[in-house]
Amino acid sequence: MKQKKSWWILIIVSLGVMTPFVLPYLNVDPANSRITITSNTIQYPLLLTHILFACAALITGFLQFVTRIRIQHPKIHRYLGRVYVMSVFISGLLALPLIFYMENFTKSLAFLTLSIVWLVTCWNGYRAAVKGRLPEHRVWMVRSFGITLVAVSARLLMPVLLLSYYILSGFSLPGGRAQMVEETLNVNIWVGLLLNFVIIEWIIVKKIKHEK
């Protein structure tokens, strides 16, 4: 019944990583946006709503894996589960139009893949719960939340990727620092997605082996 220590560490690290990225959006001022706002119509409202629901998905997602809530308070688990699913759908769908504002193909394709995988894994988890297929529900929800955490891992990976860029460029910065950051931001989602995918599937295989 006791929650693993590593779980609490993951919560603290994730919230610690995401808070500084979310804070500039809380005063609802496009001038504080970390990404360039190129249209003064729907881009910023879409981004803001995406971020707010993504935060809800992150927080409720973490709570869904707290053993005490899941086992002792199934009603709360079901309620939070609905909030998680709704937040992923809203946030994931809003990410789609945001992709059209991106100029780089590698980056936009990464976000497109991430959005689709986020929506599909969550939908599969939701459908399995509604149909009462609980083992399947658990596996898909582990996948879904692992994809939610790409937002964290992609940001955490940035220092490693910046260093790799520097090393792979022969210990030099041919296009300067700005180009290094830009090129790294074009691939960090891909690397985060791949890393999380491998970790999630590894956890699932380990769990299945353990249960046999």
Pick from 157, 160, 128: which is nearest to 143 by CA? 128
The residue count for binding ligand HEM (CB under 6 A) is: 25
Closest Cα partner for 180 from 206, 207, 162, 154? 162
Provide CB contacts within 8 A for 30, sequence distance 6+: 37, 40, 44
Report the residue number, 93 or 169, with the smaller CB distance to ligand HEM: 93
17 near ligand HEM, rule: CB under 6 A: no
Please identify which residue in 129, 151, 161, 191 interacts with ligand HEM, judged by CB under 6 A.
151
By CB under 6 A, name the one of 85, 129, 142, 150 that touches ligand HEM: 150
Can residue 95 be called a binding residue for ligand HEM (CB under 6 A)?
yes
Residue 50 or 137: which CB sits closer to ligand HEM?
A: 50
Sign of CA dihedral 136, 138, 142, 144: positive
CB of residue 9 to ligand HEM, shortest distance in Å: 18
Task: Evaluate whether 56 touches 80 at the Cβ level (below 8 Å).
Answer: no
Look at residues 41, 50, 193, 196 and name the one whose alpha carbon lies nearest to residue 110: 193
- The two tokens of residue 76 are 């709360």
Asked if residue 204 binds ligand HEM (CB under 6 A), the reply is no
Residues 6+ away with beta carbon under 8 Å from 28: 48
156 is an interface residue for ligand HEM by CB under 6 A = no
Cβ–Cβ under 8 Å, residues 64 and 81: yes
Pick from 11, 17, 102, 181 the residue near ligand HEM by CB under 6 A. 102
Q: Work out which of 60, 64, 115, 121 binds ligand HEM, going by CB under 6 A.
A: 115
Using CB under 6 A as the binding rule, whether residue 58 contacts ligand HEM is answered as yes
Of 13, 35, 173, 205, the one binding ligand HEM (CB under 6 A) is: 35
Number of residues that this document lists for the chain: 212
50 binds ligand HEM (CB under 6 A): yes
Token duo for residue 155: 């940001």
**Hey, how many other C-beta atoms are within 10 angstroms of the C-beta on 69?**
16
Cβ at position 67, least distance to ligand HEM in Å: 22
Interface contacts to ligand HEM, rule CB under 6 A? 18, 21-22, 34-35, 50-51, 54-55, 57-58, 92, 95, 98-99, 101-102, 111, 114-115, 118, 147-148, 150-151
